[in-house]
Amino acid sequence: MRKTVTKTGKKLNYRKFGKRIGLLALVIVTAVAAFFYFNSSTVAVTSKPTVYIVDIDYGTGSSGDEMAKYLTAQGYSVTRVDARSTLPSHATANTYDVIIFSSGNLVNSSITEADMIWAYDQLNGVGNNHRVILEGDDFVDAINSNGWATATELQNNLLHAAFINTSTTRAPSTLTYLNNNHYIVTGNTSNPSYSSSNNIRAFTPSGGTAIYRYDSTTAPYTVLSAWEGANRNTRLVVMDFLWYDSSVSRGITTQAWRQNLLKNSVDWVGEFMEASFTSMAPANVNPGTTGVQMGRLFLQNNISGENTTLTGFSVQQTGTATNDSNITTVKIYADANNDGTIDNPSTPLATANFSGGTATFSGLNFTVDSTGKSIIITYDVAAGAEQTKSLRLKVLTNTFKNQEGSLIKTIGTFESNATLINDITPPSVPQGVYTTNLGTGTGLKISWSPNTEPDLSGYKIYRDTSPTGSFNTLVGSVPAGTTNITDSGLTEFTRYYYKVTAYDTSSNESDKASSTAVVGIPNRPPATPAGLNVTDPAVGRTLTVSWNAVTGEPLDPFNGNTPDLAGYNLYVAGDPAGPYGKVNATPITATTYTHIGLKDGNTYYYKVAAVDRYGAESVLSAAVSGTPSDSTPPQITSVYPAEGQDLVPRNIIVKVTFDDPLDPASVNSAVLRIVDQNNLPVPGTVSYDAINGQIRFTFDSVLPAAGSFKAILDGTAPDGVKNAAGLYLGFDKEWTFGTLINPHANFTSNTTLCGYCHSAHSATGVNIIRAPKIIDLCLLCHDGTGSSYDVKAGIYFNGDVPTPLLSGGYDLAMGSTSTHFTDLANSVFGGSPDPMTVDCNNCHEPHGTSNYRNLRTTVNGRQVTVTGVVYGPAYAVKTTSGREVATYVYGFNDFCGACHFDYLVYNSENTADQVINWRHRVGVGMTGGSPGGDFVVSYPAPGLYTTLPTEGAPTGANLTNYEIVDGGSLGPATYNYIVTARNAVGESVYGSILQVTNGAAGQKIKIFWEPITNAYKYRIYRYVGPLDVKKADVSKFNFLAEVGDAPTSFVDDGSYTPDVAVHPPTTSNAKINCLTCHYSHGTTAVADGPTRLRRLDYNGVCEDCHKK
């Protein structure tokens, strides 16, 4: 259909509404911008039927030509095709609302049986458009045969299609089947009368009444409307000699009459209607307002006497406030008087709620006739609606039925004007307020963290001399984007208190009473210390710095009228021009400082400043320098393995640690040797670890089991080890150690292993074990003397370095606050009320299993499979740090749940106390934040980070800091970094994003992150360019490098080439298990109550994940 859209401004235009069979699009044009209000405006839509003329008498001045020109002039969309040789497809014809089959003069034209079959099929074919006008000259003569050879075919084939209930075959039929379900228009020689020679009456048996005919005295529109049939589903008009031919004197000669007949026939066949919509939206509403009027929809038929029923339509939110919760209810009311007011009583015709942004009305029964009717649409604004947002509603779909029951769907875009939801919510109270002393004695700087409200206008700063005062003194206001202000003209050593509020564009101000008062005390900085001096004690890597005390500082009335001096800050640099870095973390109260950890032979430059109790610092002193030297030989601080240590790992690295940096040239293959029990050399490589000050011996292959070995270190001249100052150790060092045998496996190949635990004749416990109790037996080795693992203290030996054990320690006497081990029978938390004791044997099988860490395969009568992978010094895969990294692969929740089975579900009745308990879920994906609703966890996980161990992959790393230093090739730009973590299962998603702005060329950036317990390696990704880290697209980040688990830092010096095909993962299988929050042996954590084996103090395990 052709659509005409008219906008009439403030006055309602009662235009009519066009409807058609199939699909009618209603196009509404409204120019409404958010936050601007246009007064009540009306949009009218006119839809005229599209017309398709199939002209088999094609030519200039033919009936088809004249009809096309007239209808086009009347605003119809008309397509006329030449059908003299080729008939169009029915598929093409079906796309139009009305089809006119123009045959010309039926007596003289070349109409064929194929033409009649095409018209028949269009009228009667299933799925075809049956809205057809048959137009031709001498229809009546042709029907009466009148000597026309094909009259019988016309009767049997063409007009047969006019019978509504005919079969789809072309079986012969007669005009007997024509009835009042169809309409034939005839005009014949002279003014036709009801005689057998010139009208249809002759074709009804027994001389019945003619169906209908036109004459010059009957208005065509009235005739068509009066003829409406109750059961019609096909609209057919047959027109005899419709178009005026001045060359032939035939009957009806008024051209205007015929034009009206054609126009109204097209409208009647196409079911022509019109409509208009008036927006009634107010300019502003407050949250909680009910009965807000969206607008009025006016509907009207264009065919007199014909009714249409509105059965349903949909309304959609299209403003900036689009949440379903903004509008609680949408209602429609009748407006019978078409005056823009709701009928009384005001009972809604229907009510609907928004779901997915759309409210749908169905099952309506609103009848529209030719006089027109209106409905008014209203909505209720929720009390908690989004503020400073615009509400705008749009009618999406109208569904109608005509009076014969046919469905007519009309898609529309009726849209109301924008309505602004008023802002009555103030901004949040600014956080992070603090004061800074300006050092003038009369001024303070007040700073705070920025608010994030989109309508933020600025901040107001208030002052008082009491923290409980009224704070009526306005220091000033600053616009949004500024987060500090200077307050001057103050009195030295006076306490001033400040509060900061935020206000928005609607003049809503945050609650001043809820703001926390911060204090500031203006004062002047102390004097610069004099007498700075540096001396070298010649003990190696050490300088002593001293200065004169600062005196005469003003008395501080808030600290007993004592001088306002907190101490001194000492600064050091490797160049007299700097940069200088502060040596001390807190003020130095003495006037001397011993600076250790320096490099002998290097010159260091120092400056000193005095600092008062309020952070005011003096001007830095002039620089002085010193160069450390060493006149003492190096000393061995430790060896690993220790002297006489047995059962050490077979893939051990021998380490000798010194207190001084060594001369690397003195560390060679001859300075440290290892020999076996036969005094034969064991192949390996000697290296120097300058960071840790260690000489290391790495074996070429795994050592044999039960072997004895001796380490020999050469410490004397001329080939021995010496420090950087050239001083030799002064003596040779020798010690012995033995390798580890696993006593929990391989019994058939090494039967001597039985003797580690059993004694056939001198056992002191049941099952001929060598100790009275199981736990005492295990501690014969696992106290750190016969094994690397000391489960009492909760440590293992990473070489000679004690390192926290992944499972914690159980011995209360060694600092544990809760433990899994007990000799007393207790009920099980979250499990059976039956008392039980717990020792090593409850969880571990001393003879070995296929499970991780020799965990039992049957616990408490339940079969369990536990899979884990460990990297570290005693395993085939090493870690950079040398520590053990465990990957919890599968089954840990089931293992713990064999006893603590209530904790496997999150809402269950505790078997011990019969109380319903809600519990933290286990085995769920790591997503960050708290679960919502009925404890439903949402995805995805990126953006979460925790240092705690997880089952499956780790979580991403939390980047904490960075340094920009000279010496690289990075240029000025914004550099964004992501660090993911890896273990035996896979790679994490990202945890956080670090953004670094580099302003100079020739730089390098060092980034730092928090270590993750179960991370074996870390992967660094980088994106260069501006980035909103809160809405980051991680596909922009490219892989840069992979590093070990220590140190948790990385230097990007510009030498790495990003892999543009590799990006951070966006999904992860990291899950919470019992060991995420709890140790399995015991914990040293502290809390206000029982610590329950928690890994961190108090509720630190909660905060480590949820970041509240």
Claim to verify: residue 56 and residue 176 sit in the same structural domain: yes
Residue 677 in tokens: 């029990």
Pick 29 or 1021 by higher pLDDT: 1021
Of 692, 748, 684, 693, give the one whose Cα is nearest residue 711. 684
> Does an H or E element contain 801, and which?
strand 801-804
Q: Does 821 reside within a domain?
A: no
Would you give the distance in Å from CA 111 to the centre of its chain?
69
What is the spatial distance between Cα 760 and Cα 752, in angstroms, rounded to a whole number?
A: 12
Confidence of residue 1002 (pLDDT cuts 50, 70, 90): confident
Residue 461 within a domain: yes
- Is there a contact between 274 and 79 (Cβ–Cβ < 8 Å)? no
Residue 837, pLDDT score: 83
Q: pLDDT value at position 220?
A: 40
Count of Cβ atoms closer than 10 Å to residue 122 Cβ: 23
Residue 157 sits in the same domain as residue 225: yes
587 pLDDT tier (thresholds 50, 70, 90): very high
Q: How far apart are CA 945 and CA 1064, in angstroms?
A: 14
Per-residue pLDDT band for 41 (boundaries 50, 70, 90) equals: low
Of 213, 246, 270, the residue at which a domain comes to its end is: 270
647 by DSSP, 3-state: which?
strand
Tokens of 198: 């010139």
Task: Please indicate, yes or no, if residue 1088 is contained in any of the structural domains.
Answer: no
What local confidence, expressed as pLDDT, does residue 195 receive? 33
Residue 435: predicted pLDDT = 92
- What 188-196 contacts at long range (C-beta under 8 Å, 24+ apart), as own/partner pairs, is 188/140, 188/141, 188/240, 188/241, 188/250, 188/251, 189/250, 189/251, 190/250, 190/251, 191/215, 191/216, 191/251, 191/252, 192/251
Distance of CA 856 to the CA centre of its chain: 42
Mean pLDDT of 1045-1072: 90
Note down the domain range covering 14: 2-47+274-419
Q: Which tens digits make up the pLDDT trace of 120-163?
A: 677 667 677 767 777 766 554 444 444 344 444 444 434 433 33
One domain, residues 469 and 561:
no
In the numeric block, which tokens belong to residue 154?
Answer: 């016309």
Q: What is the rounded CA–CA span in Å between residue 410 and residue 177?
A: 35
More confident residue, 692 or 214: 692
What confidence score (pLDDT) does residue 627 get? 95
Looking at mean pLDDT, say which of 1-10, 88-97, 279-288, 681-690 comes out highest: 681-690
pLDDT tens digits, one per residue of 671-724: 999 999 889 999 999 999 998 899 999 999 888 866 889 999 999 999 999 998
What pTM, to 2 d.p., does this model score? 0.41
Does 317 fall in a domain? yes
Question: Given phi > 0 = left and psi -120 to 50 = alpha, else beta, which region is 601?
Answer: left
Statement: residue 13 has pLDDT above 50:
no
715 and 733 Cβ atoms separated by less than 8 Å: yes
Query: Cα(1041)–Cα(102) distance, rounded to whole angstroms?
Result: 79
Strand 733-739 and strand 645-648: the pairing is parallel
In this structure, what CATH number is given to the domain that contains residue 471? 2.60.40.10
pLDDT at 665: 94
H or E element: which one contains 893?
helix 892-897
When divided into structural domains, the chain yields a total of 6
Tell me the percentage of the chain whose pLDDT exceeds 70.
75
pLDDT at position 925 is 62
3-class secondary-structure state, position 852: helix
3-state secondary structure of 1031: helix
Is the confidence at residue 211, as pLDDT, over 60? no
Q: Is 1085 among the domain residues?
A: no
Judgement on whether residues 577 and 649 belong to the same structural domain of the protein: no
Which whole number is the average pLDDT over 176-186?
36
pLDDT (tens digit, 9 = 90+) per residue, 459-515?
Answer: 999 999 999 999 999 999 999 999 999 999 999 889 999 999 999 888 889 999 888
Give the Cα separation of 520 and 435 in Å (integer).
Answer: 6
Q: Is the pLDDT of residue 21 over 50?
A: no
The C-alpha angle 109, 253, 65, rounded to 5 degrees, equals: 45
Structure tokens at 627: 């160069």
Check whether residue 318 and residue 442 sit in a common domain.
Answer: no
Position 104 in a domain: yes
Q: What is the CATH number of the domain that holds 35?
A: 2.60.40
Same domain, 124 and 141: yes
Are 90 and 217 within one domain? yes
Q: Higher confidence at residue 792 or residue 920?
A: 792
Rounded to whole angstroms, what are the CA distances from 138 to 151, 185, 251, 597? 11, 12, 12, 119
Instruction: Flag whether 856 is in a domain.
Output: no
Query: Which of these three, 220, 252, 270, is where a domain ends?
Result: 270
Cβ within 8 Å of residue 977, ≥6 positions away: 959, 993, 994, 995, 996, 1007, 1020, 1021, 1022, 1052
Helix axes 63-73, 255-270, angle to 10 degrees: 70
Asked which of 82-96, 273-287, 549-563, 621-635 is least confident by mean pLDDT, the reply is 273-287
Length of the chain, please?
1108
Mean pLDDT is highest, among 812-826, 879-893, 1014-1028, for 1014-1028
Q: 512 and 538: one domain?
A: no
Tell whether 668 and 681 lie within a shared domain: yes
So what's the pLDDT on residue 206? 32
Average pLDDT, the chain: 77
Q: Which of 215, 239, 270 is the last residue of a domain?
A: 270
**578 vs 420, residue with greater confidence:** 578
What values do phi and psi take at 941, rounded to 5? -90, -25
3-class state of residue 761 by DSSP: coil
DSSP secondary structure, 360-428, as one string: EE-S--EEE-TT-EEEEEEEEE-TTPPTT-EE-EEEEEEEEEETT--EEEEEEEEEPPPEEEP---PPP
Would you state the structure tokens that stand for residue 195, as one six-digit string?
Answer: 């005689």
Three-state secondary structure along 684-718?
A: EEEEEECCCCEEEEEECCCCCCCCEEEEEECCCCC
Same domain membership, residue 571 and residue 693: no
Q: Give the pair of three-digit tokens for residue 244.
A: 């005026």
Asked whether residue 38 falls in the same domain as residue 62, the answer is: no
What is the rounded distance in angstroms from the CA atom of residue 836 to the CA atom of residue 843?
A: 13
Residues 132 and 208 in one domain: yes
Residue 441 — left, alpha, or beta (φ > 0 → left; ψ -120 to 50 → alpha)? left
Span 52-68, mean pLDDT?
A: 85
Contact (Cβ atoms closer than 8 angstroms) between residue 461 and residue 430: no
In a domain, residue 864? The reply is no
